[in-house]
């Protein structure tokens, strides 16, 4: 499946099937010797009351991921189809980052409540103890804002997103001791108060065509800096996402497309 070009191998592990080993996730994620994807996502039986399913996420290098916004929408589409849920009715999924209310919008589009962004350096996490109000600070010759969406993000404002040194800066950020669990690095170009261009260099996957949690993180960080309104259209290389953050203490909501590409049986 994919969501705005961010692609996934979805594994049906309902009924207590064992999760894939690191070697299997690496093989699946390899675009030359495997299926090829940005992340591998397991769909599993519900573990929380009131949910219809749970899921876990692995990056293509085999490392564990805490959140994936485009993946959450793909899980929603898969679950709605496989469980034959009532069309248009909301439901709840559980992920490593918590519970997510899903609203089907029709024609393969879904809105997912992604949780309340955290700017607490302990939650990102950051390898530095700094005040909550000082989360934009220098690193090399640029500044970034740090935010957690259940996974760590650094957001850098750039004049032109598609001219940014994504790989060079992304690699430098990901090995920085400031980010002990590495980091997803977003390069954000503010077009207007309700439109953003964004590229994201993801930990464990490199640059992807879209990053849902990265879009949420970028909007949250720049709303906090009074550079954006609370309803923003985010253009990424693979498509557009709609991000809404009604208030600081409310979940940020992401809407966007999903697509089924092909399906098969994994023999290991």
| Cα-based angle 206, 101, 108 (whole degrees, multiple of 5) | 65
Is 98 assigned a ligand-binding role in the annotation? no
Q: Are residues 244 and 146 in the same domain?
A: yes
Q: Are residues 76 and 147 in the same domain?
A: no
In which element (H, E) is residue 138 found?
Answer: strand 136-139
β-sheet bridge partners, residue 11: 42
Q: Are residues 88 and 175 in the same domain?
A: no
Is 94 assigned a ligand-binding role in the annotation? no
Percent of the chain past pLDDT 90, that is, above it, reads: 87
The Cβ of residue 1 has, within 10 Å, a number of other Cβ atoms equal to 22
In this prediction, residue 135 carries a pLDDT of: 46
Question: Could you give the number of structural domains in the chain?
Answer: 2
Q: Are residues 98 and 146 in the same domain?
A: no
**pLDDT tens across 174-219, in order?**
998 889 999 999 999 999 999 999 999 999 999 999 999 999 999 9
Structure token digits, residue 108: 């393969």
> Cα torsion for 9, 15, 19, 25, to the nearest 10°?
-20
Is 39 assigned a ligand-binding role in the annotation? yes
**pLDDT tens across 93-143, in order?**
999 999 999 999 999 999 999 999 999 989 999 887 654 444 455 665 678
Is 6 assigned a ligand-binding role in the annotation? yes
Tracing tokens 């940005």 back to the chain, one arrives at 38
Instruction: Show the domain range for 152.
Output: 132-250
Residue 61 lies in a domain: yes
H helices present in the chain, as ranges: 22-29, 69-82, 166-174, 212-224
Q: Are residues 165 and 234 in the same domain?
A: yes
Q: What is the pTM of this model?
A: 0.93
Is 194 assigned a ligand-binding role in the annotation? no
Residue 115 lies in a domain: no
Least confident window among 20-24, 52-56, 251-255: 20-24
Show which residues are catalytic: 68, 211
Q: In this structure, are residues 162 and 199 in contact, taking their beta carbons and an 8 Å threshold?
A: yes
Percent of the chain past pLDDT 70, that is, above it, reads: 95
Tracing tokens 């920085």 back to the chain, one arrives at 176
Residue 150's pLDDT band (cuts 50, 70, 90): very high
């Amino acid at each position: 499946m994919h969501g705005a070009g961010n692609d996934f191998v979805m594994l049906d592990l309902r009924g207590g099937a064992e999760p894939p080993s690191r070697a299997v996730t690496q093989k699946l994620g390899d675009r030359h010797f495997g299926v090829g994807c940005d992340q591998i996502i397991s769909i599993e039986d519900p573990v929380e009351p009131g949910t219809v399913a749970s899921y876990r996420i692995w990056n293509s290098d085999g490392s564990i991921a805490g959140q994936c916004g485009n993946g959450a929408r793909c899980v929603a589409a898969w679950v709605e189809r496989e469980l034959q849920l009532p069309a248009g009715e909301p439901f709840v999924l559980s992920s490593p980052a918590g519970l997510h209310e899903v609203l089907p919008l029709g024609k393969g589009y879904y809105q997912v409540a992604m949780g309340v962004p955290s700017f607490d350096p302990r939650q990102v996490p950051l390898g530095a103890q700094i005040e909550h109000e000082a989360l934009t600070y220098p690193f090399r010759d640029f500044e970034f804002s740090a935010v957690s969406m259940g996974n760590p993000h650094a957001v850098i404002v750039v004049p032109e997103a598609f001219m940014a040194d994504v790989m060079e800066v992304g690699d430098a950020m990901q090995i920085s001791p400031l980010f002990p669990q590495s980091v997803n690095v977003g390069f954000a170009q503010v077009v207007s108060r309700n439109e953003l261009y964004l590229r994201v260099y993801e930990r464990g996957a490199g640059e992807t065509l879209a990053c849902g949690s990265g879009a949420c993180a970028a909007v949250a960080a720049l709303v906090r800096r009074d550079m954006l309104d609370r309803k923003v259209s985010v253009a990424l290389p693979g498509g557009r996402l709609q991000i809404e953050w009604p208030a600081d203490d409310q979940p940020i909501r992401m809407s966007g497309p999903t697509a089924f590409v092909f399906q098969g049986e994994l023999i290991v």
